[in-house]
Amino acid sequence: MSLQQQIKDEDSGYNKNLFCIPKHYEEDIERVFIPHGLILDRTERLARDIMQDMGSHHIVALCVLKGGYKFFADLLDHIKALNQNGDKSVPITVDFVRIKSYCNDSPTQKISIVGEELSALNGKNVLVVEDIIETGRTMKALLSKLKDKEPKMIRVVSLLIKMTNQSPGYRPDYIGFEIPDKFVVGYALDYNEYFRDLNHICILKEKAKEKYKI
């Protein structure tokens, strides 16, 4: 199993005033949990680990939208840099799938998966790129759809995995950070579509959850 950084419950992040937060979210953020720079540095290392394991054949990188788009873009930048500067390189193609399984800060009963054409995955090495895994329910639903396309290999990388007592029967192949059971936003992770435009991964104030509730 690959190494991953575990952020314990008592590590409650950083005072938000140490960082640049968009004015429109200043009142909503409780703490900065994982600063943007740390996310990028960890992503660089994940890219190296992934290329060491998968880097001998064409990779189809599959982005799980919407929450995975920032991690996907940064991970692919690092993979491209390795391709450009290393002794060997492999073609990377991209595909996208959209999954919705959350409303407010709770899971929905139904998992909606859109963009499941994905016929180009047949016989390919697929790297699924996800933002966060909690119970593993969403990823298990996606993986069962992907297996129908008969890829040669599927690997999953998730920037975050959340430790909850209802979880997790599922662990991805590569993990950025293991975090406690807190609802997080930022770096494309949303609360009802807000906070994707925030660089750092943060914890919300309870009154912000009320403010943006639907």
Given candidates 67, 151, 172, 176, which one binds ligand LQESDW3C under the rule CB under 6 A?
67
Please identify, using beta-carbon distances, which residue of 67 and 136 lies nearer to Mg ion. Answer: 67
At which residue do the structure tokens 């419950």 appear? 9
Which one, 64 or 82, has the nearer CB to ligand LQESDW3C?
64
Least distance from Mg ion to the Cβ atom of residue 139, Å: 9
Would you give the binding string for ligand LQESDW3C spanning residues 143-182, x where CB under 6 A is met? -------------------x--------------------
Contact stretch for Mg ion (CB under 5 A) within 40-48, 126-134, 147-155, 173-181: 126-134
- Three-class secondary structure of residue 131 per DSSP: strand
162 binds, among ligand LQESDW3C, Mg ion, none (CB under 5 to 8 A by kind): ligand LQESDW3C
Tokens of 23: 């004015």
**Helices marked H in 24-67:** 36-54
Reference 132, options 165, 112, 107; nearest CA is: 107
Nearer to Mg ion, 19 or 194 (CB): 194
Q: Can you tell me which residue has the tokens 């129908």?
A: 148
Instruction: Phi first, then psi: give them for residue 136, nearest 5 degrees.
Output: 90, 0
C-beta neighbour count of 169 within 10 angstroms: 9
Report the DSSP beta bridge partners of residue 130.
Answer: 158
Q: Is 55 helix (H, G, I), strand (E, B) or coil?
A: coil
**Residue from 45, 107, 173, 209 in contact with ligand LQESDW3C (CB under 6 A):** 107
Residue 109 · residue 77 · CB < 8 Å: no
Distance in Å, CB of 195 to ligand LQESDW3C, minimum: 8
Of the pair 44, 107, the CB lying nearest ligand LQESDW3C is at 107
Q: Is 67 in the site for Mg ion (CB under 5 A)?
A: yes
Burial of 157 (0-12, 13-18, 19+ CB in 10 A): buried
State residue 78 phi and psi, 5-degree precision.
-70, -40
Of Mg ion, ligand LQESDW3C, none, which one does residue 101 interact with (CB within 5 to 8 Å by kind)? ligand LQESDW3C
Q: Where does this chain bind ligand LQESDW3C (CB under 6 A)?
A: 67, 101-102, 107, 130-138, 162, 183-185, 189-190
